[in-house]
Structure 1
Amino acid sequence: MGVELRDDEAAFRTMGDHDLIDSYLVYRARDTLCSVSSGDTEDYRQLLSAMNPEELGANEVAMLVTNLKALAGAVAYIDNVLHNELLSAIFKMSLWNYKPDVMDALIEFIESLATSSGKYVDDCLAMLTCQFFPPGSLPLPKILARKDGVLSRVHSSLKYIADLVPLSPVRLVPIVLDGKPQYRFNNTSTLSLVIYVENMLKLESGVLGEVVRIPMLAGVVDLLLDLDVEIGWEDIKNDSSKGIFEMELEDVDESRDDDLNDDSELPRQLSRKTLGGNSFAEKLDSLMVLTFEHLESCQVADRLIEIFDTLLESFKKTVLTAYKSKFAQFVIFYACSLDPKNCGVTFALMLEHTFFFSTNPPLLRMSAVAYLASYLSRAKFLSVFVVAGTLERLVDWCVKYVKMQDDEINPEAHRIFYSGCQAIMYLLCFRMRSMMDDPQLKPWLVRLPLESILNNKLSPLKVCLPSIVLEFLRQAKAARLFMTSEKFNFDDYLESELSREFGGMERLDMFFPFDPCLLKKSDSYIRPNFIFWSMVQPTYDDEDSSDEDVGDAFAGDNDGGMDYGIMQSLEEQHFDFAEVGSALNKMSITPKDSLLSRFGGAINQPMRMPSRIRPSTSPESL
């Protein structure tokens, strides 16, 4: 077919009748297709050869364009059995390998075939969505040069097909999601993943968005979480002999935020550099930035709230229930930062309701309250009054829980209650000072019945993570939150069998997910809206407080009622109190001793507090 068509076309062009030429080409294409059924396959074989030329010179390109245009007018004569080789050859063609004239002819054929018969719709949609991935053999400069031309044609074609085949968007969804790159088993480039997700987000925001919005957004979140889970703790850990997962990213000089490539400023024990060679981390970082930019475009288009419900529902189903999510949760954090009054408050209420809803599974409730505490602690964009309102409801729930119990300390039976108490203390470690500095909130905070939920038979101070308890007690004492002279029945707040039973190596009880983001590019988006521990001025940092005053915080005087057993416990554990006080100024959270024997440290070394809050990236916190 190919050679004869070109000779005839040349003859007809001398007549100047282009319509007649096109009609003749279509006629010859129909004749070639029909001849296969009668056993005459000579022209058909020539056609197949023309669709797969060994070389792609000017003559071959012209032949390819001619044949595709002719076939577009003869799609009614294509049989999926008789012409399977032809269809297979066309469906394997990549727009990325051709110039605009071939691309346009190929798109024309695909559109004609998809709209001619329902049996070809899925194959045509699959062929179009395959264009979401540039060929691996194509050099990067050509990919970048052809990207807009290829993808604009693909999305325009998808819209054209949807207009004529209304059910095609519904059928498109599983094709796109099932076409997710198999990054675990091959060397899928970051660029390929980025282009794939870029197209998912373009579908979400395009004319097909009404149908595909929810599954496309959910698919993006699922992919982010899949990459997140592939990043193991061993990829983050640097030197276990120094105490695993100790970091102080918040101490990076904020005046150099624009120069985040300088890893020399980051702490030695754990920095973004430890993830630098991790392909999953690099891919996740790029995809999160792409998602952040999409959220920004939604805000500009005044439709952030429109997609936030979908994003929130996806978060509840995937990220909130994930076992080891490290970074994917920052997508919802960033969305909230773009609209604090609506999205920011809605997210907090969702977490709050998930924790309070008694029929939810215990692990889900504990995960929700950990997310809630971490979110309220770290979100700079939230009003302190929003934080105070949530805190009051958490305290009220804990008070009611205590009143209904007639039980002794039991980490397993009361793990939801202990999670709530720990969340309250963690939150106050970050927010106590700002509340005490507010003339409206200070008297309210002092009146909160904190002592009733922390000093009772259930003994949460003995069960919760010791370093959170220690920091909370120090701030509470300095702020004089406990005005009675009754002493706490608590003389062993350092890590014990009780706290290990509540937490342990494989639990989510002590998970604080919004600790500083270690992904370099993503962090530049999160950082302006994020509260680092170095920004927090604890209540014991008043100018009129001396080191002696801080030390008195652990002595049971008449004002604070702190049991001197705390100091005795420190001494029995061979602590240097000056060293502990210095560590506490950095907000230590995960004590080492419980993990040293498991990760190669010396058991007989004195316990030292890590340099910053990072329970969400330590095995103890899981």
Structure 2
Amino acid sequence: MEPDSFTSALEDYARGQHRYIDSIIRQLQAPECKDRYMAEILQRLRNCVSMLVREHYEVVVGAILAIDWTNKSADVIKAYHAFIVNLISAHSIYTPSVLRALVGLFLPRSRGVVPKEGILLGDLEMETRRMREQEMGHVHNVLISILKAVPTAVPMLLEAIKQSCPYVLHKDSSYLEYFIQNILHTSTYCPTIRADALSLVIEKMIYLDVRASRERIEEAESDSEDEEDTELFHMETDLDQSQTNKRRNRLDEADRMDTVMCIFFSYIDKVAKNTDGSLNWEATRKLYLELLKHFEKIILPTYECCHTQYLLFYLVSLKQNLADGFMDYLWKKVKNPNEHQVYRKAAICYLASFIVRAKFVSIRSAADAVSLMCQWIHQYISTVHHNSMHNDVVHHGTFYSVVQAVMYILAFRQREFLDMDKAESFFLGLSLQTIITCKLNPLRIVLPVVARTFSSFVRKHQLAFCDAIMERNNRLIVPTANESGEGQHLESYFPFDPYLLIRSSGKISEIYRMFEGKAIVDMKLEKSSNDEEDEFVKDEMRDCGSYQTKTPVEAFLGSVSPGFNTNSFTLIG
């Protein structure tokens, strides 16, 4: 086709004679269209781009945007790239449509690699992913050129991303995986959208996270183990299948969450680390501040969020200053009387769990944190009106939560505290006996497993004595927050309980602390004979909730959260 005839065909199209241009579009959209022909048409459209006003050629432009070009030859990709940039430079009104079309390519298409004889399934999947990444590279190159040519396109790009975001539980789990991977990559060359992009991703993660509760994940893994036990006689077949199953979580929501966590951890490494592996402090600091805002707005208010918070756990592990800053942020929120009690209690749960679980939090930092908590507790006791000093979780919820945090931290890291220089003066400065004997009676409100383990620790080392108070508490009928009896104990929420997602656990296992040593339980509080220990344990567990472990020691090893056991640790170490 001669250039003049192509121009004439476009002019005819504007006059209502569509046959010739429609024929060209059908050929471009046909799967068997030759790359050479497609590149030639795109080049001619580029030369006539000034003619493509929206009034007459909106349908033509829409058809060009819909053609499958990312897997074509280098000539086609180059011609398409040039045409798109020229189009929006000449007609900025097409920018939203162009961006929607490009962002739509973030989602996977049905085509894939054609299987060949002798090719393993794993190799085929890797080849499909390689081709997919290569195609997305072409899309991002076009987006970069658009943002350079039209800087005002940034808000339109963000809007296109929000409109194109797939349903979290789409039947094809790769939709969410590829989309999140691409929008995070987009934020690396368009930093102005990063805050909104991170917010969008974290909201999707929370949606998955609350559906993949610890109980459901453990139940699914337990069912998987039962299935393997029932098929013991098919040894060879089941061995391979078992190994495959262990690489992924059995619960679908957990497996999807695992995939997203892997993507986000890789994104953090990409942003925070230089090519030689060293830390890019300025980039890391900026990312931390942005994630902290999303933590405050989205993660912290979410009840029983299981894994999303590990994004910050991993990020702050890269630099001690960040870990100290995170603890300082949480403590300021706890002691701020203008904060709602719900957020203050959540913040102290995060702080206590972070201090005991993060290997990169030194015992000196933990001791400083405990000292600050005890100072706040003593000040609270001295300022509370005498008439209001009764067991009321509603009014004194923050106080009880801070006391529980102190007990939890001291019991969990007891060996390290005892091995500190000047450990004796440290414990004397805490005035633990004053705290446990105050009229607010915290030993009656904190979780029984925490109280028992703390009591055993402080009794052995004569730091404080809790037995008489705990015995008396067992005999008392304590006023509750409501008639149903709720409110007698604090809720058992420890955000950094063991990490249950299998594939992404590698990023956490090396920086995660497990309980070491032995929690000492004094059986004389209810039973004097060791032979009656099992009965005591059952009674104790009924007080705490439906624990699956056999002893309070085992409950403390895995977590103090009801229903959480030591088997969870096998996933990360």
Place the TM-score, normalised by the shorter chain, in its bin. 0.7 to 0.9
Residue among 266, 281, 297 paired with 1:293: 266
For 1:81 and 1:617, locate their aligned partners in 2 and report how far apart those are by CA, in whole Å.
Answer: 65
Q: Kindly state the Cα deviation for residue 87 of structure 1 after the two structures are TM-superposed.
A: 2.5
For 2:12 and 2:496, locate their aligned partners in 1 and report how far apart those are by CA, in whole Å.
Answer: 67
Alignment-derived partner of residue 410 in structure 1: 392
Alignment-derived partner of residue 102 in structure 1: 76
Q: Does the 8 A contact of 1:590 with 1:614 survive in 2? A: no
* 1:200-257 deviations in Å (ceiling 9; x for gaps): 2222322x22x122222333322322221221455224399x9x9xxxxxxxxxxxxx
For 1:126 and 1:317, locate their aligned partners in 2 and report how far apart those are by CA, in whole Å.
Answer: 28
Give the residue type in structure 1 aligned to 2:53. Answer: D
Alignment-derived partner of residue 181 in structure 2: 198
Q: Kindly state the Cα deviation for residue 516 of structure 1 after the two structures are TM-superposed.
A: 0.9
Task: Describe how 1:40-79 pairs up with structure 2 within 5 A.
Answer: 40-53=17-30, 55-58=31-34, 61-79=35-53
- Structure 1's 486 and 129: CA in aligned 2 closer, same or farther, altered over 3 A? closer
Give the residue type in structure 2 aligned to 1:591. Answer: M
- Structure 1's 46 and 291: CA in aligned 2 closer, same or farther, altered over 3 A? same
Task: Describe how 1:487-526 pairs up with structure 2 within 5 A.
Answer: 488=469, 490-492=471-473, 509-526=491-508
Give the residue type in structure 1 aligned to 2:22. Answer: R
Q: Kindly state the Cα deviation for residue 377 of structure 1 after the two structures are TM-superposed.
A: 0.6
For 1:481 and 1:120, locate their aligned partners in 2 and report how far apart those are by CA, in whole Å.
Answer: 73
Q: Does the 8 A contact of 1:370 with 1:513 survive in 2? A: yes
- Structure 1's 427 and 141: CA in aligned 2 closer, same or farther, altered over 3 A? closer
Q: Does the 8 A contact of 1:379 with 1:530 survive in 2? A: yes
Residue among 297, 301, 305 paired with 1:321: 301
Residue among 252, 271, 288 paired with 1:279: 252
For 1:464 and 1:128, locate their aligned partners in 2 and report how far apart those are by CA, in whole Å.
Answer: 54
Give the residue type in structure 1 aligned to 2:376. Answer: W
Alignment-derived partner of residue 286 in structure 2: 306
For 2:39 and 2:364, locate their aligned partners in 1 and report how far apart those are by CA, in whole Å.
Answer: 66
Residue among 504, 508, 513 paired with 1:531: 513
Alignment-derived partner of residue 145 in structure 2: 160
Larger radius of gyration: 1
For 1:610 and 1:496, locate their aligned partners in 2 and report how far apart those are by CA, in whole Å.
Answer: 29
Percent sequence identity is 21
Q: Does the 8 A contact of 2:357 with 2:514 survive in 1? A: yes
Alignment-derived partner of residue 176 in structure 1: 161
For 2:267 and 2:321, locate their aligned partners in 1 and report how far apart those are by CA, in whole Å.
Answer: 18
Residue among 3, 6, 9 paired with 1:32: 9
Residue among 219, 225, 232 paired with 1:238: 219
Alignment-derived partner of residue 118 in structure 1: 92
Give the residue type in structure 2 aligned to 1:37. Answer: A
For 1:134 and 1:590, locate their aligned partners in 2 and report how far apart those are by CA, in whole Å.
Answer: 53
Alignment-derived partner of residue 379 in structure 1: 358
For 1:325 and 1:490, locate their aligned partners in 2 and report how far apart those are by CA, in whole Å.
Answer: 35
1:226 is the counterpart of 2:202 = no
Give the residue type in structure 2 aligned to 1:164. Answer: A
Q: Does the 8 A contact of 1:461 with 1:493 survive in 2? A: no
Alignment-derived partner of residue 342 in structure 2: 363
Q: Kindly state the Cα deviation for residue 36 of structure 1 after the two structures are TM-superposed.
A: 2.3
Q: Is the partner of 1:137 in helix, strand or coil? A: coil
- Structure 1's 160 and 414: CA in aligned 2 closer, same or farther, altered over 3 A? same
For 1:148 and 1:348, locate their aligned partners in 2 and report how far apart those are by CA, in whole Å.
Answer: 38
Q: Does the 8 A contact of 2:478 with 2:488 survive in 1? A: no
Alignment-derived partner of residue 425 in structure 1: 407
Q: Does the 8 A contact of 1:495 with 1:591 survive in 2? A: no
Q: Does the 8 A contact of 1:238 with 1:274 survive in 2? A: no
- Structure 1's 222 and 239: CA in aligned 2 closer, same or farther, altered over 3 A? closer
Q: Is the partner of 1:158 in helix, strand or coil? A: helix
- Structure 1's 616 and 419: CA in aligned 2 closer, same or farther, altered over 3 A? same
For 2:260 and 2:414, locate their aligned partners in 1 and report how far apart those are by CA, in whole Å.
Answer: 36
Relative contact order (C-alpha < 8 Å, sep 6+): which is higher? 1
- Structure 1's 164 and 84: CA in aligned 2 closer, same or farther, altered over 3 A? closer
* 1:2-42 deviations in Å (ceiling 9; x for gaps): xxx2xx4xxxxxxxxxxxxxxx2xx4444322222322222
For 2:552 and 2:417, locate their aligned partners in 1 and report how far apart those are by CA, in whole Å.
Answer: 30
Give the residue type in structure 1 aligned to 2:151. Answer: P
Alignment-derived partner of residue 398 in structure 1: 377
Higher mean C-alpha deviation, range 119-128 or range 148-157: 148-157
- Structure 1's 442 and 275: CA in aligned 2 closer, same or farther, altered over 3 A? farther
Q: Kindly state the Cα deviation for residue 513 of structure 1 after the two structures are TM-superposed.
A: 0.8
For 2:86 and 2:459, locate their aligned partners in 1 and report how far apart those are by CA, in whole Å.
Answer: 76
Q: Kindly state the Cα deviation for residue 489 of structure 1 after the two structures are TM-superposed.
A: 6.5
Task: Describe how 1:466-615 pairs up with structure 2 within 5 A.
Answer: 466-482=448-464, 488=469, 490-492=471-473, 509-533=491-515, 535-536=516-517, 551=522, 567-568=525-526, 578-579=533-534, 591-592=541-542, 595=545, 611=555, 612-615=557-560
- Structure 1's 235 and 409: CA in aligned 2 closer, same or farther, altered over 3 A? closer
Q: Does the 8 A contact of 2:333 with 2:344 survive in 1? A: yes
Q: Does the 8 A contact of 1:510 with 1:615 survive in 2? A: yes
- Structure 1's 262 and 74: CA in aligned 2 closer, same or farther, altered over 3 A? same
RMSD: 3.8
- Structure 1's 594 and 527: CA in aligned 2 closer, same or farther, altered over 3 A? closer
Higher mean C-alpha deviation, range 283-292 or range 91-100: 91-100
Q: Does the 8 A contact of 1:323 with 1:508 survive in 2? A: no
Q: Does the 8 A contact of 2:304 with 2:493 survive in 1? A: no
Give the residue type in structure 1 aligned to 2:84. Answer: I
Residue among 298, 302, 318 paired with 1:338: 318
* 1:575-605 deviations in Å (ceiling 9; x for gaps): 9654489x7xxxx999346655xx9x9xxxx
- Structure 1's 293 and 233: CA in aligned 2 closer, same or farther, altered over 3 A? closer
1:352 is the counterpart of 2:331 = yes
Give the residue type in structure 2 aligned to 1:422. Answer: Q
For 1:165 and 1:64, locate their aligned partners in 2 and report how far apart those are by CA, in whole Å.
Answer: 26
- Structure 1's 180 and 374: CA in aligned 2 closer, same or farther, altered over 3 A? same
Q: Does the 8 A contact of 1:235 with 1:274 survive in 2? A: no
Alignment-derived partner of residue 189 in structure 1: 173
* 1:532-552 deviations in Å (ceiling 9; x for gaps): 11x2455x6xxxxxxxxx74x
Q: Does the 8 A contact of 2:14 with 2:57 survive in 1? A: no
For 1:461 and 1:182, locate their aligned partners in 2 and report how far apart those are by CA, in whole Å.
Answer: 46
- Structure 1's 419 and 145: CA in aligned 2 closer, same or farther, altered over 3 A? closer
1:462 is the counterpart of 2:444 = yes
Q: Kindly state the Cα deviation for residue 474 of structure 1 after the two structures are TM-superposed.
A: 0.5
Query: Where does structure 2 lack aligned partners over 5 or more consecutive residues?
Result: 114-124, 224-239, 275-279, 565-573
For 1:83 and 1:350, locate their aligned partners in 2 and report how far apart those are by CA, in whole Å.
Answer: 55
Q: Does the 8 A contact of 1:426 with 1:472 survive in 2? A: yes
Q: Kindly state the Cα deviation for residue 315 of structure 1 after the two structures are TM-superposed.
A: 1.1
- Structure 1's 235 and 30: CA in aligned 2 closer, same or farther, altered over 3 A? farther
Q: Does the 8 A contact of 1:371 with 1:514 survive in 2? A: yes
Q: Is the partner of 1:238 in helix, strand or coil? A: helix
Higher mean C-alpha deviation, range 193-202 or range 472-481: 193-202
Q: Does the 8 A contact of 2:444 with 2:488 survive in 1? A: no
- Structure 1's 314 and 34: CA in aligned 2 closer, same or farther, altered over 3 A? same
Alignment-derived partner of residue 54 in structure 2: 80
Give the residue type in structure 1 aligned to 2:156. Answer: R
